[in-house]
């Protein structure tokens, strides 16, 4: 569900014509809908209303300061994976007591910064990390709140690059060692053992794997309790998919499914949704530069590229492509939508049926809010796109397009000796 819709054959973002944004800001441009972001947060939050819970938005999905501020104002906490993300959410006014820190490779500096900020907890992924956090905490004379991230060893049925819950993945601690870990962590005076976490993967479109993970972690939490380790938090991670093409369960169904095995544990549930909050709330608008017909294919060459949205080539991801203006009676054509980058992997769609786009027209790559702008790069010395947030009739530029100077400002021209 989102607030990008046609009015008289013109695509609107809420109350603003997409064509007007493109004319004013240029292309490629990411456009987000504030109403959609708010609605998604509300629906997800309400889905967990029956349980004591905290939503920690997985900000890696879309981390613009204004987006973080919008979610923070709705009561969201944040799931972070770097000191950069910590600083972003603090800059946006986040409550540190609602921040959880995930990831397999936290540096000493990152651990120290998070401890000093007073975050809710670290999701610990290995034994050496556990000891490192204890060491940094001791040095700072602070107590580190930790949760152990368990790898539940299951197949979430998603793309291998975004699957994290199988025991062959680098994430989490093995099921077979969980109790040893807790016993060991309990003996470390600089740690406070507050939780258990898991995260099985992303773009999951079936409740089955969530239920399986829920059952496994519930068994662990119960046994820990029996062993005298009463946890405060159970962090179920993120991972709920969006309808790029598939039909994932709605948040209420997902929440009901995952909460069932967790009933009666006496813990606060933390959820780390990323994609489901922001994915459909953003589009990437790009302009057709050329239509190139070869003897075997039709290529729609646009001004957006893989440096702006890498998901199609990286995950074989499907993104719907809509014309910003619909023309009655246009025939459909089968074409590849490609960018200017010098790689064959630079495409948004392949062999896609489209209403015969022509030079100069605008296309909207849909469902681009999650893992779109945040994975953008300056490859081919292309500027990263501008970001615009629409709120009703108002549009806010929340990030300007990179200038050339932005791209080269940290580079040095060497004074060569010869």
Residues serving a catalytic function are: 342
Return the residue of 14, 45, 79, 110 that touches ligand LLP, per CB under 6 A.
79
Q: How far is the CB of 314 from ligand LLP (least distance, A)?
A: 7
Three-state DSSP class for residue 192: strand
Region of 31-39, 138-146, 177-185, 199-207 interacting with ligand LLP (CB under 6 A) = 199-207
Closer Cβ to ligand LLP, 272 or 387, answer by number: 272
> Interface residues for ligand LLP in 210-239 (CB under 6 A)?
237-239
Let me know if 299 is exposed, middle or buried by CB neighbors in 10 A (0-12, 13-18, 19+).
middle
Residue 371 as a binder of ligand LLP (CB under 6 A): the answer is yes
A 10 A CB-CB count for 356 gives 16
Site for ligand LLP (CB under 6 A): how many residues?
20
**Smallest gap from residue 371 Cβ to ligand LLP (A):** 3
Cα separation of 143 and 115, whole Å? 8
Q: Is 74 exposed, middle or buried (0-12, 13-18, 19+ CB in 10 A)?
A: middle
Closest approach of Cβ 169 to ligand LLP, in Å? 11
For ligand LLP, the closer of residues 210 and 371 by Cβ is 371
Neighbours of 106 (CB within 10 A): 24
Cα–Cα–Cα angle for 33, 38, 39, rounded to 5 degrees: 100
Kindly give, in sequence order, each residue whose CB lies less than 8 Å from that of residue 316, ignoring residues fewer than 6 positions away: 159
- Measured CA to CA in angstroms, residue 57 lies from 44, 71, 193, 262 at distances of 11, 8, 22, 21
By CB under 6 A, residue 156 contacts ligand LLP:
no
**Among the listed residues 11, 34, 58, 305, the single contact to ligand LLP using CB under 6 A:** 58
Judged by CB, which is closer to ligand LLP: 21, or 59? 59
The reply to whether 361 sits near ligand LLP by the rule CB under 6 A is no
- Token pair in block for residue 104: 């397999």
287 or 311: whose CB is closer to ligand LLP?
A: 311
Q: Considering the rule CB under 6 A, would residue 311 count as an interface residue with ligand LLP?
A: yes
Residue 203 touching ligand LLP (CB under 6 A): yes
CB of 300 to ligand LLP, least distance (A): 23
Nearer to ligand LLP, 57 or 182 (CB): 57
Give the contact letters, 4-43, x = binds to ligand LLP (CB under 6 A), - = no: ----------------------------------------
Stretch that binds ligand LLP, among 38-46, 113-121, 196-204, 223-231 (CB under 6 A): 196-204
Query: Measured on CA atoms in the order 80, 159, 257, 171, is the torsion positive or negative?
Result: negative
Strand duo 191-197 + 144-151: pairing: parallel
Residue 315 binds ligand LLP (CB under 6 A):
yes
In eight-state DSSP terms, residue 342 is: S
Choose which of 272, 346, 361, 391 interacts with ligand LLP (CB under 6 A).
272
Among 31, 162, 213, 365, binds ligand LLP (CB under 6 A): 162
CA distance 178 to 151: 9
Indicate whether 98 belongs to the interface with ligand LLP (CB under 6 A): no
CB 117 within 8 A of CB 140: no
Instruction: Give the side-chain half-sphere CA count within 13 A for 254.
Output: 26
The answer to whether 412 and 54 have CB atoms below 8 angstroms apart is: no
Tokens of 81: 């994976």
**Cβ contacts of residue 16 below 8 Å, gap of 6+?**
390, 393, 394, 395
Which lies closer to ligand LLP via its Cβ, residue 86 or residue 324?
86
202 binds ligand LLP (CB under 6 A): yes
Single residue of 209, 273, 282, 369 touching ligand LLP by CB under 6 A = 273
Could you give the count of Cα atoms lying within 13 Å of 323 in the half-sphere of its Cβ? 22
Q: Does the protein bind ligand LLP through residue 163 (CB under 6 A)?
A: no
Interface residues toward ligand LLP, by CB under 6 A: 58, 61, 79, 102, 162, 199, 202-203, 237-240, 272-276, 311, 315, 371
């Amino acid at each position: 569900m989102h607030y990008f819709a046609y009015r008289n054959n013109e695509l609107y973002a809420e109350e603003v014509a997409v064509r007007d944004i493109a004319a004013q800001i240029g292309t490629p441009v990411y456009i987000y809908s504030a109403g959609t972001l708010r609605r998604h947060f509300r629906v997800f939050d309400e889905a967990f209303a029956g349980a004591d819970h905290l939503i920690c938005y997985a900000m890696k999905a879309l981390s613009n300061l204004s987006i973080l501020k919008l979610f923070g104002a709705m009561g969201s906490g944040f799931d972070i994976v770097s000191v950069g993300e910590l600083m972003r959410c603090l800059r946006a006014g986040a409550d540190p007591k609602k921040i959880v820190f995930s990831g397999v490779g936290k540096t000493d500096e990152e651990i120290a910064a998070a401890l000093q900020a007073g975050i809710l907890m670290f999701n610990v992924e290995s034994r050496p990390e556990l000891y490192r956090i204890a060491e940094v905490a001791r040095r700072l004379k602070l107590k580190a709140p930790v949760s152990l991230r368990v790898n539940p060893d299951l197949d979430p049925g998603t793309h291998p690059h975004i699957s994290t819950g199988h025991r062959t993945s680098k994430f989490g601690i093995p099921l077979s060692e969980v109790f040893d870990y807790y016993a060991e962590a309990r003996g470390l005076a600089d740690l406070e053992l507050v939780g258990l976490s898991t995260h099985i993967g992303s773009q999951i479109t079936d409740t089955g794997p969530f239920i399986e993970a829920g059952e496994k972690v519930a068994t662990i939490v119960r046994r820990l309790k029996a062993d005298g380790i009463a946890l405060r938090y159970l962090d179920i991670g993120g991972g709920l998919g969006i309808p790029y093409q598939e039909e994932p369960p709605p948040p209420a169904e997902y929440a009901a499914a995952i909460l069932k095995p967790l009933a009666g544990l006496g813990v606060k549930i933390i959820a780390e949704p990323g994609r489901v909050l922001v994915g459909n709330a953003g589009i990437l608008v790009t302009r057709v530069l050329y239509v190139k017909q070869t003897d075997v294919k039709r290529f729609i060459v646009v001004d957006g590229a893989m440096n702006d949205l890498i998901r199609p080539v990286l995950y074989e991801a499907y993104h719907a492509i809509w014309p910003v203006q619909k023309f009655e009676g246009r025939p459909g054509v089968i074409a590849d939508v490609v960018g200017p980058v010098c790689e064959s992997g630079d495409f948004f769609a392949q062999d896609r049926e489209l209403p015969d786009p022509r030079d100069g027209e605008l296309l909207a790559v849909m469902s681009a809010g999650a893992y779109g702008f945040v994975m953008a790069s300056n490859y081919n010395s292309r500027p990263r796109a501008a970001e615009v947030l629409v709120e009703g009739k108002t549009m806010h530029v929340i990030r300007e397009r990179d200038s050339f100077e932005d791209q080269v400002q940290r580079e040095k021209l060497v004074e060569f000796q010869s």
